[in-house]
Structure 1
Amino acid sequence: MVDGQLVAELVEKYCTTRGYRYSYGTAGFRDDASRLDTVMFATGIIACLRSIALDGRPVGVMITASHNPASDNGVKIVEPDGSMLVQSWESTATDLANLLSSGSAEAIRQKIGQLASSGSGVRPRLVVGRDSRVSGPRLLQCLLGSASSLFQAQIRDYGLLTTPQLHYPTSRSLSMDRSVEEEDYFVDFSSAWNEITRLHDVEGLPCAGLVVDCANGVGGLKIHSFIPRCRVLSGTTTVINDNCSDAESLNRGCGADFVKTNQRLPTGIKETDGDSRLYCSFDGDADRVVFYYLNEDSKFQLLDGDRISALLAYFIAQLLEQSGLRSVLSMGVVQTAYANGSSTKYLQNQLNVPVTCAKTGVKHLHHEAVSNYDVGIYFEANGHGTVIFSDRFHDTVGSQTQDSLATKTLRLLPQLINQTVGDAISDMLAVLAVLSILKWSPSRWGKEFTDLPNLLNKVIVPDRSKFIATDQERRLTSPAGLQEKIDEAVSRFRSARSFVRASGTEDAVRVYAEAATQEEANELSAVVSRLVLESC
């Protein structure tokens, strides 16, 4: 039985934000850090209950707001297999956070007592990490306040980590006969890189060098521990925007979201004539990466998540063909509605690779990839994604008697790619390995297909919940009549499409527009944005 007086004291101490309504987004809670103490206290309870429901298996908790401004923060809950919290528990987390925020003292005591008592007999295990935001330590204490005091949870606090690094020990804790250390992450992925580059006699990158923009986030701290372990990279890589100790510089004028959204170079890189380097940008917690280069006219050229998917699909399809397994193992790409239409046509028509569309959020893409393919490649256009290899893939490739170069490479790829979650460092290595093996320059990669011009716009609305979508978020069912108006607008432009999707973290909607020219895409975006505002 939980002590009601203890519950009251803990709520009084840690849940100072009252009367605020919280919403669970596509990857967890995210908001201004000053309002998250109540959410973190609730998360400690939910994470412990999830661990208890899984007989004490470790559940991960990552305190981060990814690409958001430095003043924000948030939290992600990670399943023992490294995937995101199962959707059926999201409503439980939301309901508890809102009860703690707006419920009566008696209702809160009863609910927490009921939840905590249901876990008697099993001690929960939590794996905890945080990014470099200054609000992280304070919010961690709110999490520990409920997890330790109400559940006596066994907690391993790894301190500053990238989000993928937190997923790593969460998923490995039960498979190793000792505690999982951060060093294991560095060793595993650098060893895979070294082995695959030696196998293919890679002695240099197919460009003048690599420049990594770390968004002044925790990835900047970790990349310096990683690069020296990697052959070829240690002498050819420049790291910029790696000052995670300057809180206000996080994601400011740099990082994957800035580069993708603004279609421009981040702070720290200047346009240089004849520059043949490859650039990449992480986001604040290093679970996204986008690439780019400067063409012969010193013009910025983006290589986003669509390009990463296409590159990996091209390469893996080749390996399967060379190994005689193309017809044996299924391979496909999972995209969201934000994927450029040209990338979809390239995959389907030129590579003969099936494409599935999923709702926005890697938890949805991950599910589709696992459910449909032996090799499931998924990347959101923002650079968040990975490749999933099924048990059938491992059994089939492992049983091949002909140990060809292609077969050996297929065995190594799953070791190089972090399959639990999108990982900027691991994905960067996979892209660099493929480009080096194919001997493709950045411009060669960029010329595989031509993107349709597009624009992603944010429209602030009074209530985003009114915008309800179907067909994997490509069509609206509410507000009534708005979709028909969007369809009519789209019909006036060439090679056009547009859709409206409610934000998962703020009262805003995203308007995506695509057309034959940038001028038409911009005009279509403006028309649809105006229609959205008129419907409010």
Structure 2
Amino acid sequence: MAERLFGTDGVRGLANSWPMTADAALRLAAAAGRYFRADKQEHRVVIGKDTRLSGYMLETALTAGFTSTGMNVFLLGPVPTPAVGYLTHSLRADVGVMISASHNPAHDNGIKFFGPDGFKLSDAAEAEITRLFNAGVAPARPDSIGRAKRFEDARGRYIEYAKTTFPAGRRLDGLRIVVDCANGAAYRTAPAVLWELGAEVIPMGVEPDGFNINAECGSTHPEAAARRVRETRADVGICLDGDADRVIVLDEAGQVADGDQIMALIASRWAEAGRLRGGALVATVMSNLGLERFLATRGIGLERTDVGDRHVVERMRAGDFNLGGEQSGHLVLSDYATTGDGLIGGLQFLAAMVETGKTASKLARVFEPVPQKLVNVRFAPGSAPLETEAVQEAIAAGETALGTAGRLLIRKSGTEPVIRVMGEAEDMVLLDKVLDSIVQSVRSAA
């Protein structure tokens, strides 16, 4: 039976367990190498990673797989995921690979692919790589085996590029910035960029040991950074996740601004400057109803997609939009990057502070969020509760009860046997009643 590899964002799993084993990584790289070999003299792949212990194992296995098919490998070392997308295109590589499980704990890992244009792969490309993986790939002739070498300037190239996305002639002089790098891929790049732009930098999460990535730090755990902001009287905090494709911002009081608030700020500023292509922001179905209402008051549209930054990027490319992202902090600014880039997104927030002279708290609360509640309901493997008549009737009744005053989103998780029941409404009593009815119907059907 054919083995399924790709999920919603590359291949991911528990390190040293299927499919995150050395053997599977080698076979996967061989399949990708065979797929991406273009008709030219040199075939090139770049491989980056975050700071997980298992990254060494997977990096070595991927190198063996790619070189076995005649691909030359450039090893970037620990760099942010967006740096891999950037360098894949900049170095004219056939394919780029990032070894990371993003915001997941250290015992997980993942493998993400980028095409020669620096964008993540299409479903068709992933399907063909999976077919080659299952069928097996013939190795290259002995005289055609690829070479591998460390690319020592990867971090420096990305640092220099990131600085070019900050407004020309502007600096961060006088700003005290806490930056939490989650003991992850940006532990050197992010503090360097901010310092070189003139900020007083207070770094956190910059002592990776292979096990502490995302551990009580970074964008998913901003509490420690919030305390540091208050203790040091910093002007702002920037929190990244393990591979630095997400960001959340902390104001001077340590209050959190999530991806929705940051996108609202950037969208409104870009629209005023005539920079917002397509007259709309692309976000997922999880983004708050308050964001949608705020954008409408500014004459800005909201294009919603399924959950996942990959879906956001696909819609942006199809509609020629240049701004999108997720509530979780994935910010895609396609004028600068091919995927979510937490550092570049954070720089846009800092640019707003510098150009307006306003404090972080004045910029971090652009709109008032509509109260949102999420309930996860596990179901038995093989069952399909959302397809039952009782659940569908409960959902329809809930939508009728909320009317235009709220919103429901009921969906099956793409990574575990869970139904996610989410609702938004100003009237929390009504929302609780609606969600309770749906949750009970799902549990009965599960």
When the two structures are superposed, what TM-score results if normalisation uses the length of structure 2? 0.77
Matches of 2:143 and 2:397 in 1, distance apart?
A: 56
Asked if residue 216 in structure 1 is aligned to residue 183 in structure 2, the reply is yes
Residue in structure 2 matched with residue 396 of structure 1 by the alignment:
none
Name which of 253, 259, 269 aligns with 1:305. Answer: 259
Match runs of 1:233-382 below 5 Å: 233=199, 235=200, 237-245=201-209, 247=211, 249-259=212-222, 265-266=223-224, 269=227, 272=230, 277-293=235-251, 301-320=255-274, 330-348=278-296, 350-373=297-320, 375-382=321-328
Q: 1:23 to 1:442 in 2, by over 3 A?
A: same
- One-letter amino acid matched to 1:384: H
* Deviation (angstroms), 1:448: 2.5
Asked if residue 512 in structure 1 is aligned to residue 430 in structure 2, the reply is no
Asked if residue 452 in structure 1 is aligned to residue 390 in structure 2, the reply is no
Secondary structure of 1:534's counterpart equals helix
* Deviation (angstroms), 1:267: 6.4
| Residues 225 and 237 in structure 2, CA contact (< 8 A), matched pair in contact too | no
* Deviation (angstroms), 1:283: 0.9
Gaps of 5+ in 1: 1-18, 100-110, 122-148, 160-179, 260-264, 390-417, 468-475
Name which of 371, 374, 380 aligns with 1:462. Answer: 380
* Deviation (angstroms), 1:271: 8.6
| Residues 182 and 240 in structure 2, CA contact (< 8 A), matched pair in contact too | yes
Secondary structure of 2:285's counterpart equals coil
* Deviation (angstroms), 1:309: 1.5
Secondary structure of 1:287's counterpart equals coil
Name which of 68, 92, 104 aligns with 2:104. Answer: 68
Residue-by-residue CA offset, 1:44-101 (whole Å, 9 max, x unaligned): 023202312575452011111011111111110111111101210223344566x4xx
Secondary structure of 1:343's counterpart equals helix
Tell me how large the CA RMSD over aligned residues is.
3.4
* Deviation (angstroms), 1:460: 3.2
Residue-by-residue CA offset, 1:208-241 (whole Å, 9 max, x unaligned): x32222222222233343333222x2x2x21212
| Residues 390 and 441 in structure 2, CA contact (< 8 A), matched pair in contact too | no
* Deviation (angstroms), 1:479: 4.7
- One-letter amino acid matched to 2:396: D
| Residues 331 and 376 in structure 1, CA contact (< 8 A), matched pair in contact too | no
Residue in structure 1 matched with residue 406 of structure 2 by the alignment:
496
Residue in structure 2 matched with residue 439 of structure 1 by the alignment:
357
| Residues 257 and 365 in structure 2, CA contact (< 8 A), matched pair in contact too | no
* Deviation (angstroms), 1:152: 2.8
Residue-by-residue CA offset, 1:276-301 (whole Å, 9 max, x unaligned): 73223111111100113365xxxx64
Residue-by-residue CA offset, 1:442-470 (whole Å, 9 max, x unaligned): 22223431001113344333338947xxx
Q: 1:92 to 1:509 in 2, by over 3 A?
A: farther
| Residues 218 and 285 in structure 1, CA contact (< 8 A), matched pair in contact too | yes
| Residues 216 and 243 in structure 1, CA contact (< 8 A), matched pair in contact too | yes
Name which of 228, 240, 259 aligns with 2:195. Answer: 228
When the two structures are superposed, what TM-score results if normalisation uses the length of structure 1? 0.65
Question: Which is worse superposed, 51-60 or 451-460?
Answer: 51-60
Secondary structure of 1:212's counterpart equals strand
Q: 1:466 to 1:48 in 2, by over 3 A?
A: farther
| Residues 29 and 39 in structure 1, CA contact (< 8 A), matched pair in contact too | no
- One-letter amino acid matched to 1:511: V
Residue-by-residue CA offset, 1:500-519 (whole Å, 9 max, x unaligned): 23333333343322221556
- One-letter amino acid matched to 2:157: D
Asked if residue 483 in structure 1 is aligned to residue 392 in structure 2, the reply is yes
Matches of 2:252 and 2:440 in 1, distance apart?
A: 35
- One-letter amino acid matched to 2:299: N
* Deviation (angstroms), 1:520: 5.5
* Deviation (angstroms), 1:256: 1.6
Residue in structure 2 matched with residue 182 of structure 1 by the alignment:
155
* Deviation (angstroms), 1:116: 3.6
- One-letter amino acid matched to 1:444: K
| Residues 165 and 344 in structure 2, CA contact (< 8 A), matched pair in contact too | no
* Deviation (angstroms), 1:346: 1.0
Identity in percent: 25
Residue-by-residue CA offset, 1:15-65 (whole Å, 9 max, x unaligned): xxxx99645211111111121114413320232023125754520111110
Number of residue pairs matched by the alignment: 391
Matches of 1:512 and 1:345 in 2, distance apart?
A: 18
Secondary structure of 1:256's counterpart equals coil
| Residues 464 and 503 in structure 1, CA contact (< 8 A), matched pair in contact too | no
Matches of 1:266 and 1:524 in 2, distance apart?
A: 36
Residue in structure 1 matched with residue 168 of structure 2 by the alignment:
195
Secondary structure of 2:368's counterpart equals coil
Secondary structure of 2:441's counterpart equals helix
Matches of 1:520 and 1:372 in 2, distance apart?
A: 37
- One-letter amino acid matched to 1:287: D
Q: 1:313 to 1:72 in 2, by over 3 A?
A: same
| Residues 337 and 359 in structure 1, CA contact (< 8 A), matched pair in contact too | yes
Matches of 2:207 and 2:383 in 1, distance apart?
A: 38
Secondary structure of 2:168's counterpart equals helix
Residue in structure 2 matched with residue 419 of structure 1 by the alignment:
337
Q: 1:46 to 1:522 in 2, by over 3 A?
A: farther
